[in-house]
Structure 1
Amino acid sequence: MWLVSEPVQRSNGADMSKDGGADVDDGRISKSLIGSIVATGSLSFIGILTETVMTVLFPELMREFRVDTSTVQWITTIYLVTVSVTIPMSSFLRRRYRLKSVFVAAVVFTMTGSAIMIVSHSFAMLIVARIIQGIGSGIATPLMMNIILEQSPRSKLGRLMGLGSLVITTAPAIGPTVGGAVASVLPWRAIFVIVLPIMALSLLLGLRCISQSGTTGNARFNGLQFLCITVSLVILIMALNQGGVAIGAAVAGRRDAGPAVVALVSLIVGVALLVCFVKISRRSFSPLLRIGLLEDPVVALHAFAYLILPMVGIGFGYLLTTLAQLSLGTDSFLAGVLVLPGTLIGAALAPLGGWLYDRFGASRPILISLGFARVGAVLLLIFSGSLTPWRVAVFYGVFGVGYAVGMANVITSAMRDVPAEFTPDGTAIFNTLLQFGGAAGTALFSTIIGVAQTGSGPQGSASFRQATQMGGTWNFVLIVVMVALGWACLWRAFSIHARRTGHRVFTD
């Protein structure tokens, strides 16, 4: 099942107590490991925060740069796609370069992109800046996860992974709040001025604390594999976007076959390139990713859930802030604040999910928490025709708490069935799915909103608000289905794992 394409040249697990920054025998967590997690985690947090910090500003950006809904969403989508195509390189970078060098590269890319955002005065330059930022975030996020998985004491793994997952799940949710708060008193570019000194402090801390947890090797970079995965992910998102444009044109009664043709061709080419990537990777001596991990149904089911659920978790930031402004008539600050209670409570409880994992195993914390999240999604659907700001805040709070606690443990659970030497590949695969899912979710939800708004009149009119509300209802239907599907995949994965270990689900 496992594709061992090259010698594994690093230590793992309990053998890393001397150079990994943690003593895995007595369960103590060293100060250097804490510093490493804080340095990489803060960089990752800032990178992921900027995924959604701009979503609350979409109406303002549409006016400033004179673009429509389907165009402005590329500020977030192109960022997420870039992260998605950068993360697969993390396994190669882990095998080829020292951790500290990889960390420095992530900081440089992130700071450079933020600097360009500050001085950009065209939509095209914003897109370029977001691509550069995405490269930095795509390097930083799996680096944090690899340090936790490789250097943590086994008895504290759940808690530390919960802390790492807290960064991944909380940053996208708090982004709209930060964006709205800053934009209410300062120009939106001030957001990126504020994060620069924070990234500089992260750099200093990382240089001091990050230690090497193993040796590097002579892993080779396969440009053809990278090209296949990059182009496939980008044009699959394009297919989704153009499909929405085609549907919108049809709804408006326009006879324009161009978007439909582009969507169909993009879908075919994207799937074909993805298949090529899989075939090339399986035959490669030094694959970009060891995708043979997904031959295990337990890992594959976790991975599918990890693709679907972030579509909801990250896309919610765009959806709710857009509905609040364009349908309920709130300003950008209030729109961002609406998701704050659920975000803060989820942030406080996410480490609890890791503790529950260490105490009770994976199935109970994950399935019960995500079931709770599904209740929040169902409430938003039921009241979608009569939403008020406080209802949005309360119902999203229910969803956010369940989502944060449950998602904190999904990747940790999946790694139980992945051999230790393939941990970097596993984290790269799951983080790629996370980011691509977020990109697809943002594109999908914005496309549905855009289709609903087609032909409804100018922004701010009663018909436009009503159309936006209807688009929200369609999205809530889709969200309920997606959360249920993700939950079912995880239930099936736990059932298979339980049969292997001779336990029952809820007793692993």
Structure 2
Amino acid sequence: MSNGPIQITDRTNGAVAPTDERIPLKLIGAIVAVGSLAFIGILTETVMTVLFPELMREFDVDMATVQWITTIYLLAVAATMPVSSFLKRRFPLKAIFLAALALAIVGSLIMIVASAFPMLIVARVIQGIGSGIATPLMMNIILEQSPRSKIGRLMGVGSLVITVAPAIGPTVGGAVTSVLPWRAIFVAAVPLMLIAMVIGLKCIEQKSPTEAAYLDPIQLLSIVLALCGLVLALNQAGVAVSAAMAGTPATRSAVIAAVSLIVGLGSLVLFAFSSRKAFSPLLRLGILRDRVVLLHLVEYTILPIVSIGFGYVITNVAQLSLGTSAFLAGSLVLPGALVGAVCSPLGGWLYDRFGAVRPILIPLGIAILGPVLLLVFSMRLTPAMLAGFYFIFGFFFALGNPNVMTSALSSIPRQFAPDGNAIFNTCLQFGGAAGTALFSTILAVAQAGHGEEGSAEFMHATAVGGMWTFAVMVVICVVGWACLAAAFRIRSRRAA
């Protein structure tokens, strides 16, 4: 680090501006404090999936019911994130932080004392709202307060928080519940959040004034209905297809999916229309008129379908096709997920050093090799091959993809960064929800009518489903890479 301001060139638009290279210690503390809330929220989301069998026994519910613990959490997160831009403009950062903290603590306390399943659902809604506030807040602090020449690596640190939690979630859940009651996870989370509160109150600084922003109830209701409807439609469509292929009643899920899709798309159109007419829109969607930003957003929406869906696909293919134990199946994902998470700051450093194009396109191009190899060897995979090919994807995906949002937001004025942050994080959540729904449906279709679980026919059918899934992953990766290549080509023409 240097000892004073220097001149640097913004590699994305060619502007020259004085920037202080030093990263303030208070900024690091603020990122740690807010990032801890985001980390705990995402960690508990993935931990809960491991607890499904235990929760089904304790609360006497079936699999279709217990899955709502995760679904309702994703709905709450997706519905809250679009409001982050308004919160950033209207309220002080510390007030937003304390609101997210209070929601996270209250949700954890309800989980600890819950004696009925509906109480768990209420707790997950509260925790989802808290996490939906905390994650964009962390990114907003980084975008607003980072030295311009260090923004890439600090955004990488933010991505590290978001990606390492789902990587270790299943392992943490399995380890803790093997020796302690499942509620111990939330007991341990409360003191960690209190420590984060102390750090946050000391380190979070207000660098920009608040505004008299107005929250239009029609816009708020329409975006909440849009996101909840679309996420629910994806979830229930997967359930309906799986049930139909298994020969069980699927009418109820199909009707819910169709109604949710209609409500979601209609509400999305209403939100876009009302935002154009509003004096103080909830999200300033005008930034998406820039084709460079829009193409970045398309990639940032569809690539998480692959990255988050991988965790489901590998663990299920390993168990249902290769016959591994649940513990080994979960361990296959861990190396690739962890190395990818740890490498996010390295990708940010490459962005700061070389600009956007090469540190994004080259790693993401190599990352496509992972699903390509899985597709090629899909009918003769071994657990080691599953882990190794996913490792290739996880490592190079983490080097390139966290820089995509940074690159996109560099194309818009800084005062619109909170809107861009909210839009990109919301689409990230939506892509993740879509990934699990899509790939679970593909596997269910392939397995339908091929005997009982554990039979040779069923294992072969699962391998075929894995082959279809890996083919879809390759297509998604190629489309995402092509969108970025087109965006950089447009940007280059503008610069010329």
Q: Normalising by the residue count of structure 1, what TM-score does the alignment of the two structures yield? A: 0.87
What is the CA–CA distance in structure 2 between the aligned matches of 1:322 and 1:353, rounded to whole Å? 30
Does the aligned pair in 2 maintain the 1:55–1:318 contact within 8 Å?
no
Residue type at the aligned position of 1:409? N
Structure 2 residue aligned with 1:38: 32
Aligned residue for 2:368, secondary structure, equals helix
Residue type at the aligned position of 1:29? I
What is the CA–CA distance in structure 2 between the aligned matches of 1:445 and 1:104, rounded to whole Å? 37
Residue type at the aligned position of 2:215? F
Structure 2 residue aligned with 1:18: none
5+ residue gaps, structure 1 = 1-13, 15-22, 503-508
Aligned residue for 1:285, secondary structure, equals coil
Structure 2 residue aligned with 1:7: none
Q: 1:468 to 1:414 in 2, by over 3 A?
A: same
Aligned match for 2:493, one of 495, 499, 505 = 499
Structure 2 residue aligned with 1:204: 198
What is the CA–CA distance in structure 2 between the aligned matches of 1:63 and 1:459, rounded to whole Å? 21
Aligned length: 481
Any residues of structure 2 matched to 1:45-194 within 5 Å, and which?
45-58=39-52, 61=55, 71-194=65-188
Does the aligned pair in 2 maintain the 1:73–1:443 contact within 8 Å?
no
Does the aligned pair in 2 maintain the 1:366–1:405 contact within 8 Å?
yes
Q: 1:198 to 1:330 in 2, by over 3 A?
A: farther
Q: 1:91 to 1:312 in 2, by over 3 A?
A: same
Please say if 1:219 is aligned against 2:224. Answer: no
What is the CA–CA distance in structure 1 between the aligned matches of 2:431 and 2:298, rounded to whole Å? 10
Aligned residue for 2:157, secondary structure, equals helix
What is the CA–CA distance in structure 2 between the aligned matches of 1:274 and 1:356, rounded to whole Å? 37
How big is the shift at 1:216? Answer: 1.1
Q: 1:256 to 1:93 in 2, by over 3 A?
A: closer
How big is the shift at 1:472? Answer: 3.1
Any residues of structure 2 matched to 1:77-476 within 5 Å, and which?
77-252=71-246, 257-454=251-448, 464-476=458-470
Residue deviations 1:150-193 (CA, integer Å, cap 9, x gap): 11111111111111122223322332232233334333333222
How big is the shift at 1:95? Answer: 1.0
Larger CA deviation: 400-409 vs 439-448: 439-448
Structure 2 residue aligned with 1:19: none
Does the aligned pair in 2 maintain the 1:81–1:435 contact within 8 Å?
no
Does the aligned pair in 1 maintain the 2:350–2:359 contact within 8 Å?
yes
Residue deviations 1:16-45 (CA, integer Å, cap 9, x gap): xxxxxxx97431111111111111112212
Residue deviations 1:203-249 (CA, integer Å, cap 9, x gap): 11001100101111221112221111111222222222332343334
What is the CA–CA distance in structure 1 between the aligned matches of 2:343 and 2:464, rounded to whole Å? 33
What is the CA–CA distance in structure 1 between the aligned matches of 2:338 and 2:377, rounded to whole Å? 23
Does the aligned pair in 2 maintain the 1:80–1:438 contact within 8 Å?
no
Identity of aligned residues (%): 64
5+ residue gaps, structure 2 = 1-7, 9-16
Structure 2 residue aligned with 1:3: none
What is the CA–CA distance in structure 1 between the aligned matches of 2:289 and 2:179, rounded to whole Å? 51
Q: 1:306 to 1:94 in 2, by over 3 A?
A: same
What is the CA–CA distance in structure 1 between the aligned matches of 2:143 and 2:247, rounded to whole Å? 54
Q: 1:254 to 1:57 in 2, by over 3 A?
A: closer
Aligned residue for 1:338, secondary structure, equals helix
Aligned residue for 1:287, secondary structure, equals coil
Q: 1:463 to 1:289 in 2, by over 3 A?
A: same
Residue deviations 1:385-441 (CA, integer Å, cap 9, x gap): 333322222111111101111112011000111111111111111111111111222
Does the aligned pair in 1 maintain the 2:19–2:149 contact within 8 Å?
no
What is the CA–CA distance in structure 2 between the aligned matches of 1:318 and 1:120, rounded to whole Å? 28
How big is the shift at 1:256? Answer: 5.5
Larger CA deviation: 247-256 vs 49-58: 247-256
How big is the shift at 1:107? Answer: 1.1
Larger CA deviation: 305-314 vs 255-264: 255-264
Does the aligned pair in 1 maintain the 2:240–2:254 contact within 8 Å?
yes
Q: 1:73 to 1:462 in 2, by over 3 A?
A: farther
Structure 2 residue aligned with 1:6: none
How big is the shift at 1:328? Answer: 3.7
Larger CA deviation: 257-266 vs 57-66: 57-66
What is the CA–CA distance in structure 2 between the aligned matches of 1:470 and 1:49, rounded to whole Å? 31
Aligned residue for 1:214, secondary structure, equals coil
What is the CA–CA distance in structure 1 between the aligned matches of 2:334 and 2:295, rounded to whole Å? 31
Q: 1:252 to 1:331 in 2, by over 3 A?
A: closer
Residue type at the aligned position of 2:105? M
Residue type at the aligned position of 2:474? V
Larger RCO (CA within 8 A; separation ≥ 6): 1
RMSD: 2.5
